[in-house]
Amino acid sequence: MKFLINRTDAIGDTLLSTPVARLIKEKFPEAEVTFLVSPRVGDLIELCEGIDRVVIYDSKESFSKRFSLLLELFKEQKIDHFLHLGGSFLPCFAAFYKSIPFRGGLISKFSSFIWLNKGVRQSRSMVTQHESDYNLNLLAPLGIQYSWGKRASYAPELRINKALAQQYLEEIPELNGSNQGPLIFIHPGMSGHTLNWSSRNYARLVERLMTKTQGSLRIVISFTPSDEPYLKGLKDFLKDKGELQKHVFFFNGAEKGLVHFVHLLSNAQVFVGPSTGTTHLANALNIPQVAIYSPIKVQSALRWGPFRTGEKTRVIVPDVVCGEVKQCAGVSCPYYECMAKIEVDEVFQTTVELAGLSKFRPI
């Protein structure tokens, strides 16, 4: 059995699709699984368990070039099972054009009703389960009955070279001085339109962490160029803090690529971040984390939260009764700017607890 899985969109979405490969491998050990992904996540997905091959699909290329790539891929790899989990619909058409025997996955747009002969209709906007569970349930036409009780065994998992992880850490002088305290990664930025905690609250968290622990932590603020709007308030807050700035290292994860970044991130004792791909990376590395989420239904942790839950994963949501399904109601909502209701002290206490700094836990 030769599978091609199409997931040509964002980092977090793609990571939450990798459990499908692990379940396929469990049911059909002889299966070969190829993932079709966007350029930004190609190298990263090669580190994931359950995936034999990764092919890059660049939506910016011309139609003819993309279509030729797909036809050649189906021919060379002798694909007989195609699954559409998200992203471009051209691979669905190419699978239909090549008469691939099994064409499954998510049916959404009208064209997918025609192109997918084993597709599954799902109302994901109802948010009755996690994104990964929706993906796993798409395997039902293969005769695979997904058991929620075994969910943990399909978790996204990244293969990390520990020697490289240590090397990348040692290459940053700012993180290898006299202070060898717990390493805390904070990622304040995000893509998309999900509600986020304010930039200045992330800055207040940094200040609280460093002052309350007497500078015993090493703090990395990770970002990519697209996260710059979320850094402005944080940087403005810290610029007048003098000594505090010496304990904070800003790291551009885009400079050396995702593989380098995840190896560096694997050294963290705790990760703090919103609903974004980096939060899912930390979860795939099984790093203790504080995840900050919106109460809006389609943005909620129920659907988009970290895959792994339990004592090492704490999800913090504003304590409000939000009746919105897709987007914030703005000033007409009695809880407007609800993300500000998440107290810095709550995030601080959760962070130091996960870092094992018991003397700073609340009594």
Could you tell me if 120 and 175 lie in one domain?
no
Residue 200 pLDDT > 90: yes
In a domain, 249, yes or no: yes
> Is 80 inside a domain boundary?
yes
Question: What are 332-347's pLDDT values in tens digits?
Answer: 999 999 999 999 999 9
**Whether the Cβ atoms of residue 57 and residue 91 lie closer than 8 Å to each other:** yes
* Average pLDDT score over the chain: 93
Shared-domain flag, residues 121 and 216: no
Rounded to an integer, what distance in angstroms lies between the CA atom of residue 315 and that of residue 337?
Answer: 18
Tokens 């389960």 belong to which residue? Answer: 129
* Structure token pair of residue 67: 């279509």
At residue 362, does pLDDT exceed 60?
no
In a domain, 159, yes or no: no
Same-domain status, 94 and 178: no
Domain final residue pick, 98, 123, 154: 154
Chain centroid offset of residue 2 CA? 27
DSSP state of 269: S
Instruction: Please give the Cα distance from 259 to 211 (Å, whole number).
Output: 33
* pLDDT recorded at residue 358: 65
Instruction: Identify the CA nearest to 296 among candidates 328, 274, 264.
Output: 328
Task: Identify whether residues 109 and 170 lie together within a single domain.
Answer: no
Does residue 237 form part of some domain? yes
Q: Is the pLDDT of residue 179 over 80?
A: no
Q: In what order do the strands lie in the sheet with 218-223?
A: 248-252, 218-223, 183-186, 270-274, 289-292, 313-316
Among the three residues 154, 179, 203, which one is the final residue of a domain in this structure? Answer: 154
Of the chain, the percentage scoring pLDDT greater than 90 comes to 84
What is the pTM for the complete model shown?
Answer: 0.94
Q: Do 82 and 138 have their domain in common?
A: yes
Q: What is d(CA 198, CA 357) in angstroms, rounded to the nearest whole number?
A: 25
Q: Is 296 within a domain? A: yes
Number of other CB atoms surrounding residue 179 within 10 Å: 13
Residue 42 lies in a domain: yes
Residue at 276 is within a domain: yes
Q: What is the pLDDT of residue 238?
A: 87
Digit-coded pLDDT (tens) for 6-53: 999 999 999 999 999 999 999 999 999 999 999 999 999 999 999 999
| Structural domain harbouring 219 | 164-360
Last residue of a domain, one of 107, 129, 154: 154
Judge if 120 and 257 occupy the same domain: no
Question: Over the stretch 288-319, which tens digit does the pLDDT of each residue have?
Answer: 999 999 999 999 999 999 999 999 999 999 99
Max mean pLDDT among 18-22, 109-113, 212-216 falls in: 18-22
Q: Are residues 178 and 134 in the same domain?
A: no
Residues 6 and 120 in one domain: yes
Tokens standing for residue 6: 């199409």
Distance of CA 28 to the CA centre of its chain: 27
Averaged over 238-248, what is the pLDDT? 79
Give the helix, strand, coil percentages of the chain, each rounded to 5: 45, 15, 40
Residues 142 and 174 in one domain: no
Q: Are residues 128 and 264 in the same domain?
A: no
- Residue 45 contacts residue 16 (beta carbons within 8 Å): no
Query: What is the per-residue pLDDT across 139-174, written as a single tens digit (0 to 9) for each?
Result: 999 999 999 899 999 999 999 999 999 999 999 998
What pLDDT, on the 0 to 100 scale, is given for residue 363? 38
Residue with tokens 């992330």: 202
Task: Examine the domain organization and report whether 60 and 142 are in the same domain.
Answer: yes
Q: Summarize pLDDT for 265-279 with one digit per residue, the tens.
A: 999 999 999 999 999
CA atoms in the 13 A half-sphere facing the CB of 215: 11
Distances in Å between the Cα of 274 and the Cα atoms of 24, 75, 190, 191, 317 are: 30, 41, 7, 10, 10
Query: Could you tell me the CATH number of the domain that includes residue 301?
Result: 3.40.50.2000
Same domain for 149 and 170, yes or no, is: no
What separation in angstroms does the CA of 282 have from each of 58, 187, 195?
A: 26, 10, 20
Q: Within a domain: residue 29?
A: yes
Give the containing element (helix H, strand E) for 120.
strand 118-121
Long-range contacts of the stretch 125-131 (C-beta < 8 A, 24+): 125/297, 125/298, 125/325, 125/326, 127/297, 127/298, 127/300, 127/302, 127/303, 129/302, 129/303, 130/16, 130/302, 130/303, 130/304, 130/305, 130/307, 131/13, 131/16, 131/303, 131/304
Q: What is the pLDDT of residue 360?
A: 59
For the chain, the domain total comes to 2
